[in-house]
Chains A and B, each alone.
Chain A
Amino acid sequence: MVAVNETSRTGRYDVRGLAEPDAEAPKTARIDGDSAVVDAADLSTRQINLELRRLVYGEGISEVTVTNPGAKHSIAVGLLTRCRITVDGSLGYFACTLGDGPEIHVTGRVGWSLAENMMSGVVVVDKNAGSLTGAAMRGGDLVVRGHVGARTGIDQKGGTILVGGNTGSMTGFMMQRGRQIICGNAGPGLGDSMYDGEIYVAGTVASLGVDCVEEEMTPRDDELLDRKFRIYRMDRPERFRKFVCGKQLYNYDTLEPSERKLVL
């Protein structure tokens, strides 16, 4: 955490020690041409983000590597420009969120709510991610080569989530648009209450959620899967099943009396 300076009032520091209103960019990055390396070992969340912003917006540097990220939370959030960021290590909660444009590669693991509300760009995580991965995501590609936790792509509104391993329960819960490609197994309640979008699963599905149904794969689906696996140089499992919204819950009053128990 940032040291309390003399001008600060004690009230400027919150109970959990997360607020850093007075931090400044440390300007410690090693810059080499249009790339830079930030050693985050001794930096706080705010300092890392301020340094990233200084480099990307201020110095016009397009490639930044962050070393020793220490699984800190809220790193590389709200970047609204094209840039390439490599995080050499693991990140905590809310990693790479609220972005529009950046291509981010995390070589380790990440916590909950990875790439939440991403608008566009690419986030690739080499190992596992926690729950709520790609929550409310609106665009771009989110690739997790390992496993992910529960409620992957909850409220997803666009873009593609590609998972190399398994996903937990309630994957695609209330999903609105976009696609999810799960190479491993999906936990119980897949696609529960989804409005639209497609979920492709190569492994087993523990159970389907309310109003989620299986649909025939089309050549267009296969073309999409081939393309995504080619881009991220991943092995494509041969057979996928496709799950979509059953659209029974769109308008409650159109349900037959016997169908109304669906919502209990």
Chain B
Amino acid sequence: MADETAPSENTVLGRSQIFTPEVVNDIHMKAELGRYRMRGGGIFKKIPHWDELVFLPGTLTRFVIEGYREKCETKTVLGGRFAKKPLELDIPVYITGMSFGALSLEAKMALAKGASMAGTATCSGEGGMIPPERDLSTKWYYQVIQSRYGFNPHHLMLADAVEFFIGQGCKVGMGGHLMGQKVTEQVAEMRSLPAGIDQRSPARHPDWLGPDDLSLKIQEVREATDYQVPIQLKLGAARVYDDVRMAAKCGPDVIYLDGAEGGTGAGPHIGTEETGIPLMAAIPEARRALEDVGLADEIDLVVAGGIRNGADIAKCIALGAKAVAIGSAALMALGSNKDVAGADYEGTFGVPASDFYHWHTGKDPAGITTQDPELRKRLNVDEAAVRVYNFLHTLTLEVQMLARACGKTDVHSLEPEDLNALTTEAAAMARVPLAGTKYIPGVTEEKTLTEIRDLLAKHIANDTGGNRDV
């Protein structure tokens, strides 16, 4: 009689795909901690992504634009609806809001300097304005965020644009998180908080609840800023069609949609994994909403979330975004997730540098997502700024390259017709045809049904009692 439990490879039946080693370890850890687990970074699980779309460049149906020789415009203007001074960016990409607190002073300064070199904007993020960042930014967003940490009307007057933070794609429906080890005396004082506490920012604004009073809040900030600068509403991508319709009716100049791929300095792992929809699905929904309320030409759409390269940006623009914001990729351009002198990622966190998601711990070996004075010394502001500039410039070159190949003399002329999908999921979400077919799931069926309905209606109208057919 064979022993079916004998310690041998031949007796093993298999391994659970549900209770994987990571899941088992996670359960053990939660059983010790008695709380949900925190981490930095973006979504881990596989979701339909930009890799599943490709461009259809010009061949004989349309002619292409010469790289380097023929102009391909990248200038991007945001918020021309009501603002006396719309935000003019040289390139269609800027650095999104990341707080001083989540990031070191040096990281904020380098991002500001690098963005200014590239002719684009940065954003204050949650913790209020830090003067060196404002000084180094030629174009600067000031955030009106739920917590209002450090919010100061004098700083509001220094803004080139105002962003109302309503949600973020990484953890839609949740407020910010900053763990105690990063709430230093300086960070705490800027936020009027006790030092060293686990800061869990409010998820809801203190002075308005729904779209009716948000309209009034926008009016208030416009009164305070004299209609000089654009008002942007940042939404986490969830019920995008309805949310964007409501946001548009609140009267903003710009709507910013953040996809589920977006990262965070610190957030609950479950929140990061389980909230929001991919950007690829969100952009067509947002365009549809803006068109349905008749404001597609008035309100600009900015998008963000997991953007890695110029192709991702070009695809966002093709689907209908005016500009794209980057966060995680900008940190990597600074030098995050990079083996630097003195770093021991494996020894400290048990992962290689490229897998480093421990931004919430404040122990970033690259000196970026930390407040530790010794670690901060590892980030040279000027050198990091050049890297940020180089990266932003490269992104722009990549967008231009794809736009020229598609026959466009302005990157903003990219359109959904320039795209095909490699999977049915991507075709359904992005609403572009599956490669090699005319098939767009949902759209094709709807069109066919409408044709059948019309034919039937015509048939009934022409029905003269069976004497003749349609």
Contact = CB atoms under 8 A, between A and B. Distances in A.
A19 B227 CA distance: 9
Contact of B153 (A20, A94, A98): A98
Contact of B220 (A98, A154, A195, A196): A98
Given A18-B215, A195-B193, A117 B251 contact: no
A76 to B, nearest CB: 9
A4 to B, nearest CB: 14
A105 interface: no
A73 B219 contact: yes
B47 interface: no
A45 interface: yes
A193 B190 CA distance: 20
A255 to B, nearest CB: 8
Contact of B194 (A18, A250, A260): A250
B215 A136 contact: no
Majority secondary structure, B binding face? loop
B199 to A, nearest CB: 9
B192 A12 contact: no
Interface in A20-78: 20-21, 45-46, 49, 73-74, 77-78
A92 B84 CA distance: 26
A89 to B, nearest CB: 18
B223 A77 contact: yes
A80 B215 contact: no
Contact of A94 (B33, B220, B250, B297): B220
Nearest to B249: A15
Interface string A84-98: 000000001110011
B219 A252 contact: no
Interface string B273-299: 000000000000000000001010110
Contact of A155 (B35, B156, B206): B206
Contacts, number: 140
Interface string A142-168: 000000000100110110000000000
Contact of B198 (A11, A94, A252): A252
Contact-residue bracket for chain A: 35 or more
A251 B180 contact: yes
Interface stretch (B112-120, B144-152, B360-368, B373-381): B144-152
Contacts of B250: 16
Contact of A132 (B152, B207, B223, B293): B207
A155 B193 contact: no
B338 interface: no
Contacts of B227: 20-21
A50 to B, nearest CB: 8
B439 to A, nearest CB: 36
B202 interface: yes
Contacts of B248: 15
B153 A117 contact: yes
Contacts of B193: 176, 195-196
Contacts of B156: 78, 98
Nearest to A155: B206
Contact of A74 (B153, B191, B220, B249): B220
Nearest to B34: A260
Contacts of B157: 80
Contacts of B56: none
Q: Which has the most chain A C-beta neighbours within 10 Å: B157, B198, B206?
A: B206
Given A19-B251, A45-B223, A98-B224, A174 B151 contact: no
B75 interface: no
Contacts of A179: none
Contacts of A252: 35, 198
B152 A12 contact: no
A253 interface: yes
Interface in B49-107: 81-84
B250 to A, nearest CB: 8
Contact of A154 (B83, B206, B215, B216): B206
A112 interface: yes
B271 interface: no
Contacts of B35: 252-253, 260
Contacts of B202: 155, 174
Contacts of B224: 77-78, 97-98
A82 to B, nearest CB: 14
A14 B222 CA distance: 13
Contacts of A16: 215, 249-251
Contacts of A77: 220, 223-224
Contacts of A176: 191-193
Interface in B207-239: 207-208, 213, 215-220, 222-225, 227
Nearest to B197: A250
A116 B207 contact: yes
Interface string B17-55: 000000000000000011100000000000000000000
Interface of B: 33-35, 81-84, 147-148, 151-154, 156-157, 180, 191-194, 196-198, 202, 206-208, 213, 215-220, 222-225, 227, 248-251, 293, 295, 297-298
20 contacts: A11-B298, A12-B81, A14-B249, A14-B251, A16-B215, A18-B218, A20-B227, A73-B216, A78-B225, A92-B216, A93-B220, A98-B220, A112-B213, A116-B207, A119-B153, A132-B208, A135-B207, A136-B206, A157-B148, A195-B194
Given A93-B216, A196-B193, 6 more contacts: A11-B81, A14-B215, A19-B82, A97-B220, A176-B193, A195-B194
